Structure 1
Amino acid sequence: MSGAFYEFFAGGGMARAGLGPGWTCLFANDFDPKKAASYEANWGASDLKVGDVADLTTKDLPGHADLVWGSFPCQDLSLAGAGAGLKGERSGTFWPFWKLVKALQANGRAPTMIVLENVCGALTSHGGKDFAAIGAALTSAGYRFGAVVIDAVHFLPQSRPRLFIVAVRADAPVPMGFEAGNPEGPWHSAALVEAQRNLSRRSRENWIWWRLPSPPFRNLSFIDILEENPVGVEWHSPEQTRKLLGMMSPVNAAKVREAMKANRRMVGAIYKRTRPNGEGRKIQRAEIRFDDIAGCLRTPAGGSSRQSIMVVDGRSIGSRLLSPREAARLMGLPEDYQLPRNYNEAYHLAGDGVAVPVVKFLASSLLEPLLAAYKAAAKKAA
């Protein structure tokens, strides 16, 4: 048994899926009733409380969690957002969440570890001030911390870089080999290195360059996750496919022509994006990639498009939306994971989650060794 955890901003429980059966979930919370319905369908409702994190108190949180996981909303920190940062309505929910963590500390139930997951835009939001504010909060609460950027593409055929801030109690020992003296690739990006430089002096003094093992070899390609008989979507008509082709720039249209010459079945991932046309106007373009990797799943809200696929086999070309099950596979969810029946709800659930194998990798490579070392030290001290 690894430990016990609370899962905040839980969505469909993808962090829980990644931590695995060795971890015990004591409490889960999400504001969205539709996501909470998926959580309940897959994990049950006994640990789940649906509602605003700001309305929670320590009385709602049972037991003593070794780990607090918080995948707080990214909308105000992402490049697609309005730039409100931690002052925004969505990403600003970090603060009531943090108030609750502080209350746990005052209650004598400070977690050994805290993991915060978000988009990489959290590093540069407000010129790095939002990242510095999170660092200051962790440091003032008596935690040492560091961060890593992990792209799900190391584990899954999806380009999905995400920031993971890992904090550990200052009195917790860090085993030899888990702390690097300097940033190390591929986990410490240039943006992360720059953000670390902009931290306060006190935060830098409590900073840890976490060392993770090399990423595993991924043997799964985009074509491997596709459904032969997709459920929840239909193939486009020839007219719809021609319209999609007509939305491509010369560069993207050339990619399709090259795929037609490949003498094998090729699958491309497509997103629709608004681009300048060179004449002072903006038009919608269909942009395709044939590198056996899907684009980063997004939530179909706020103007973001849903991902489509184009299957090219010689002169035969077909297209359709990515199916809900394919989106779930791109997140590493198991085949028996129950998805919402509504397409947009299922796609939103996947696009707003954390990649399961990434959580599993972080847990086995860092979280579990840290917790084991802390428990061993506490046992020895007793």
Structure 2
Amino acid sequence: MAHQRTFYEFFAGGGMARAGLGKTWRCLFANDFDAKKSQTYQANWGGEELVTGDIRALTTADLPGEADLAWASFPCQDLSLAGAGAGLKGERSGTFYPFWDLMNGLIAEGRGPAVIALENVCGTLTSHQGKDFGAICSTYRAAGYRFGAVVIDAALFVPQSRPRLFVIGVRSDVSVPERVQSGKPSSLWHTRALQTAYNKLSPELQREWIWWRLPAPSARKTDFADVIEEHPNGVRWHTPEQTNALLAMMSSINLAKVEQAKRAGRRMVGGIYKRTRPNASGMKVQRAEVRFDDVSGCLRTPAGGSSRQLIIIVDGENVRTRLISPRETARLMGLDDKYKLPPNYNEAYHLTGDGVAVPVVRHLAKHLIEPILAGVREVSQAA
């Protein structure tokens, strides 16, 4: 049997990082503040390792053993381009610091994880003109970790546009295999925004930086249409009147997309978001914007009706619309249909919209984290 690597999962949500790491990993500890998300975590994973509560109340005494990996998908609201711009000083995204207090405590006790991985929105790179990203990198360096970052769009693996930033740090005494390093950035994993953020780092931080090397994944085999249910649970198809009202909210450009879909000669599935846009008079009005590129828009937590994605199916002159179903959102995150979702629609959407795409975690684990830890295990066995 393969060696079970161990991990702590912070801001765990429904355990999507755990799902991506897979069965060769063993969770020693998990934490989330949201009691409803914790119920789903326990329904799927048993959850004996889960502690529900504010991360600020945790101490290293709550963290058993010595984990190979600490994973933290800390809250994105204050770093998001759609947020208020508070950054790491915000109440929610600022929970990064109590997380790192725990890491520093473990390091002081000789239990610092070999790898510390952070996941967040790409707005982290530009928040406060790059200073928040620099602060994260400074925290790694001060703790004795070398680090690097990649931006991965979940659309490489699942039919959902969901670019996210992953910062991976490795304890300085851990040997990093040459095959996971590169001497220069890659256009696939290191976006222009990431390279700009790197260029703003101090020389001291750049010296600790690693350009991570990852292989390109195989071509994605599923499109948006493949995840859509004909008879969904939790949502109903709109009435013709409701669909017409939605179409009436579209600009001429978006209506043209619908008309083009009617002429496609095949069943077309698209995604719709409601957004507030200025009209010709400069007044803000609600618009329905549609895309037919075989990829869903990025799932987001439902802070209001405009955040809930709708689907549109066009088959010739027949046009149908409805809210996306909870199971469809789970599929877009790479969760299989055995995964247990909350029965409440908003809770299910919030859970999936706030998570990390499962196959992205698997790709990082297989091609970066596990090779690093393989070297750690070889050294410990030799000792």
**Does residue 79 of structure 2 align to residue 77 of structure 1?**
yes
**Does residue 261 of structure 2 align to residue 259 of structure 1?**
yes
* Structure 1 gap segments, 5+ residues each: none
Judge which range, 304-313 or 48-57, deviates more: 304-313
- Structure 1 runs of 4+ off > 4 angstroms? none
1:192 to 178, 191, 194: 194
1:161 to 153, 163, 175: 163
> Structure 1 CA distance, aligned partners of 2:78 and 2:337?
32
- Does the CA contact (< 8 Å) of 1:123 and 1:131 recur in 2? yes
1:154-210 per-position Cα deviation (integer Å, ceiling 9, x unaligned): 000000000000000111111122110010120000000011111122211100000
TM-score scaled by length of structure 2: 0.98
> Structure 1 CA distance, aligned partners of 2:31 and 2:352?
17
**Does residue 56 of structure 2 align to residue 48 of structure 1?**
no
1:57-84 per-position Cα deviation (integer Å, ceiling 9, x unaligned): 0111111100000000000000110000
User: Could you say which residue in structure 1 is the equivalent of 2:28?
Assistant: 26
1:244 to 223, 243, 246: 246
- Does the CA contact (< 8 Å) of 1:136 and 1:200 recur in 2? no
Alignment of 1:122-201 (within 5 A): 122-201=124-203
How many residues are paired up? 381
> Structure 2 CA distance, aligned partners of 1:104 and 1:257?
59
- Does the CA contact (< 8 Å) of 1:173 and 1:377 recur in 2? no
> How far is 1:376 from its partner?
1.2
> Structure 1 CA distance, aligned partners of 2:379 and 2:310?
51
User: Could you say which residue in structure 1 is the equivalent of 2:104?
Assistant: 102
User: Could you say which residue in structure 2 is the equivalent of 1:222?
Assistant: 224
> How far is 1:48 from its partner?
0.3
1:277-316 per-position Cα deviation (integer Å, ceiling 9, x unaligned): 0212011110000111000000001675200001111111
Matching residue's letter, 2:326: P
1:71-100 per-position Cα deviation (integer Å, ceiling 9, x unaligned): 000000001100000000100000011001
> Structure 1 CA distance, aligned partners of 2:301 and 2:109?
37
> How far is 1:267 from its partner?
0.7
Alignment of 1:195-344 (within 5 A): 195-301=197-303, 304-344=306-346
> Structure 2 CA distance, aligned partners of 1:76 and 1:230?
34
Matching residue's letter, 2:364: L
The alignment partner of 1:109 has SS state of coil
Q: 1:157 to 1:348 in 2, by over 3 A?
A: same
The alignment partner of 1:6 has SS state of strand
User: Could you say which residue in structure 1 is the equivalent of 2:114?
Assistant: 112
The alignment partner of 1:177 has SS state of helix
Matching residue's letter, 1:231: N
> Structure 2 CA distance, aligned partners of 1:302 and 1:96?
29
User: Could you say which residue in structure 2 is the equivalent of 1:59?
Assistant: 61
User: Could you say which residue in structure 2 is the equivalent of 1:358?
Assistant: 360
Matching residue's letter, 1:261: R
> Structure 2 CA distance, aligned partners of 1:36 and 1:337?
14
> Structure 1 CA distance, aligned partners of 2:280 and 2:8?
51
> Structure 2 CA distance, aligned partners of 1:324 and 1:91?
26
> Structure 2 CA distance, aligned partners of 1:304 and 1:97?
32
1:302-360 per-position Cα deviation (integer Å, ceiling 9, x unaligned): 67520000111111111000000000000000111000000000001000000000000
> Structure 2 CA distance, aligned partners of 1:303 and 1:235?
16
TM-score scaled by length of structure 1: 0.98
> Structure 2 CA distance, aligned partners of 1:132 and 1:258?
46
* Structure 2 gap segments, 5+ residues each: none
> How far is 1:234 from its partner?
0.2
